[in-house]
Structures are given as structure tokens and as C-alpha cells.
Amino acid sequence: MPLVRFFETSFGRTTERRIVLVRVEADGFTGWGEVTCGEHPFYSDETPATAWHILREYLVPWSLGRNWATASEAATCFRPIRGHNMAKAALENALWDIEAQQKEMPLAKLIGGTQAEIPCGVSIGIQDTVEELLERIHVECEAGYQRVKLKIKPGWDVNVLERVRAEFPRLPLMADANSAYTLADGPRLKLLDQFFLMMIEQPLGGDDLLDHAKLQRQLSTPICLDESIHSADDARKAIEIGACKIINIKLGRVGGFTAACRVHDVCRVHRIPVWCGGMLESGIGRAHNIALSTLPGFCLPGDVSASRRYWPEDIIDPEVTVSSQGTIRVPQNPGLGYLPNLERIEKLTIRKELVE
């Protein structure tokens, strides 16, 4: 699926997505899930090819013919497989879609969601010039989005934020470094305190919890962890050592709704605000993100925004739209609440396998 516009982070530029979808049929219902990994192993170690392999050789055979009462039993079954959370999430989340349809309730309600409308922000990638960035921020603010997240990296950070703050003094603003810094950059990151950011996301490595704790002690800007958190246990440890004050929850990164709800619960107990991150998902992953964002602890605007920001044409009907207040109304019909457009999906499909 070609993106409307390229998306650039500290680890590279994406112009089109290659997405593995999982479609499950059980008890006369059809459920859908999306593998949210990038095309290359830069954000995480998974790729569409590793997800295909793990699904085909392990997760699908382990699921066929099983008599599970709830989708979360799949999470228990998948536990012996180390890692590969995004492959696991795709299949488990498709089962959550089915469970919600069986129980005739919206997926949001099934997982314990309480919000009928969710607050939305946007994530704006690195641009070729600061002028282009300022123009993009204007467009998103006019559309009503409640906060803007900018991607930063060494060389595209302090100077850029200076210009953005000068033009948007009151904008709820944050920055995401996708692990582009090390603890040695502490003094440079300290300069970001002057911009009153809501948070700085994942400044250091995905395996650097301890260094994040050291950095957080040097900064007044709250640190939010993304890449570092793969489970509720990771969240507990990060909170305990003071590695972050906020957590971004992504369904794929933690391995599906069962784990995502657990991360949410741990954060809630410790009064750590959470929000839903994005992975440039198609409408299917986006629908799952919307359901997740309805849990009570999701009190900050997430990276869940309108289909048209990403796709000339999305693969669900209706596509996801955002109100002029910067919110998404959560669908009230059973399951995902959006219909996968089979014709469009078929047209975009370059590889397919049916396992019975």
C-alpha cells in the first residue's frame, strides 16, 4: 500500500507499506488482524517475512482445531515462542474480533473500554526542510488534532524545535527519537527542557532501561517509553526504577490485546498515563488501536489518526475519520466495527496462503 506521503524517522524513510494480514474463520465468524512490523528490522527485529514464517510454522498450526473459550487463551498458548510479538498479536487480535462478534459486542466493550470517543494526535516525520515541517503542523492543527509529535534525531532536534516553538508557542507538542541518542547526549537532550514538551519518547536504546532512568533524573521533560516495553513486566520494571513517567502502548509490540490490557493495568495502578502508539497501520490495525484506546488509562491523545493521512484509499469501510475536535467516535457495532473491503484487499494482495 503506497503511503499518501513518505514517513521518515531517525531509522529511515518509508514510502510504501508491505502488510501481512491474518484472517481467521471460526464458528461461522471471520476475524481480522494485522502484523504491524516495518518492512525492515529497524524499529523492531520483526519483518513481514519473519512474521509469515512464525505464523505459518507455529502460530497457525498451534491454533487450528483448538477449542478456545476466549481469545486470551491463544496468548497463553503462544507463550513458549520467544519474541515475535507482532506475529502473535495479529492472530490473537483476529480472535478478539471473533470473540466480540460471538458475544455481539463492540471489541472496545469486550476489552473493558469505557470511552465512547478517543482523543487523537498526529506523528509528523522528519521533513526535507523546517519550512515544510511548519506547513505540515499548520495543516494538522487546522484539522483539529489535539497534539503534535515530531520525530527527532541528532541534527534535527534543538534547532527544529526552536523554530516550531517560536511559531506555535502553546501547541501541545512532543518529540520521538526512536533510540537515536545515548546517555552521552544527556546535555543535548537537557536543552529540550526549554521547549516544554509533553514528553520525549524513547530517546535511548530499546534495551537501555537503566540509562533511561539515569537520563530521566537529568531532565524535567517526562520520558515516555515505546521500544523498551514488550510486556507488563517490562512496564513494572521501568516504572520501578524511574525510567519513564509515561508509556506508549502498541498492540504489536506487546503481543496483542491480552498483554496490552495487562500493561495498561500495571500503569494504572502506578498512576502512569498511557496512550496508543501507531505503526502506520492499515484500517484493520487502526480499528484495533481505536478499541484499545477506549480503556480508562488512555488519557493522552494517541498516534491514532484519520485513514486519509496515510492512504489514498483504506481497506476498511467506512474509513477512519477524525472530528474537528480531534477525536474519533468509537464504533458501536459488534467486533472491529469496520468492514474489511475484500475487493480492495484482494487487489492489493501479492501473496496468500490458506491453511485449513
Q: CA–CA separation, 87 vs 47, rounded Å? A: 9
Backbone angles phi, psi at 282, to 5 degrees: -75, 180
Which does residue 123 bind out of Mg ion, ligand OSB, none, counting CB within 5 to 8 angstroms by kind?
A: ligand OSB
Q: CA–CA separation, 356 vs 354, rounded Å? A: 7
| Beta carbon nearer to Mg ion, 84 or 149 | 149
Is position 226 an interface residue for Mg ion (rule: CB under 5 A)?
yes
Residues facing 122 on adjacent strands: 148
Please give the residue whose beta carbon sits closest to Mg ion in the complex.
226
Q: Show Cβ contacts of residue 291 under 8 Å, excluding neighbours closer than 6 positions.
A: 106, 107, 108, 111, 113, 257, 330, 336, 337
Is position 44 an interface residue for ligand OSB (rule: CB under 6 A)?
no
Residue 257 grid cell: 490485546
Minimum gap (Å) between residue 319 Cβ and Mg ion = 24
- Subset of residues 177 to 216 that bind ligand OSB, contact rule: CB under 6 A: 178
| Beta carbon nearer to ligand OSB, 9 or 294 | 9
Minimum gap (Å) between residue 291 Cβ and ligand OSB = 16
Is position 176 an interface residue for Mg ion (rule: CB under 5 A)?
yes
How many Cα atoms within 13 Å fall on the side-chain side of residue 28?
1
Q: CA–CA separation, 201 vs 273, rounded Å? A: 13
Active site residue 149: no
Is position 281 an interface residue for Mg ion (rule: CB under 5 A)?
no
| Beta carbon nearer to Mg ion, 46 or 176 | 176
Q: Residues 88, 151, 153, 245: which is the catalytic one?
A: 151
Secondary structure letter of residue 330 according to DSSP: P
Active site residue 245: no
Which does residue 278 bind out of ligand OSB, Mg ion, none, counting CB within 5 to 8 angstroms by kind?
A: ligand OSB
Give the x-and-dash track for 229-268 against ligand OSB (CB under 6 A). ----------------------------------------
DSSP string, 201-239: E--S-TT-HHHHHHHHHH-SSPEEESTT--SHHHHHHHH
| Beta carbon nearer to ligand OSB, 106 or 277 | 277
Residues facing 8 on adjacent strands: 13
Is position 303 an interface residue for Mg ion (rule: CB under 5 A)?
no
| Beta carbon nearer to ligand OSB, 74 or 133 | 133
* C-alpha pair distances (Å), 122 with each of 25, 27, 89, 164: 34, 38, 23, 15
Is position 278 an interface residue for ligand OSB (rule: CB under 6 A)?
yes
Q: CA–CA separation, 136 vs 51, rounded Å? A: 34
Is position 140 an interface residue for ligand OSB (rule: CB under 6 A)?
no
Please give the residue whose beta carbon sits closest to ligand OSB in the complex.
278
Give the residues lining the site for ligand OSB (CB under 6 A).
43, 123, 176, 178, 226, 277-280, 303
Catalytic residues: 151, 250
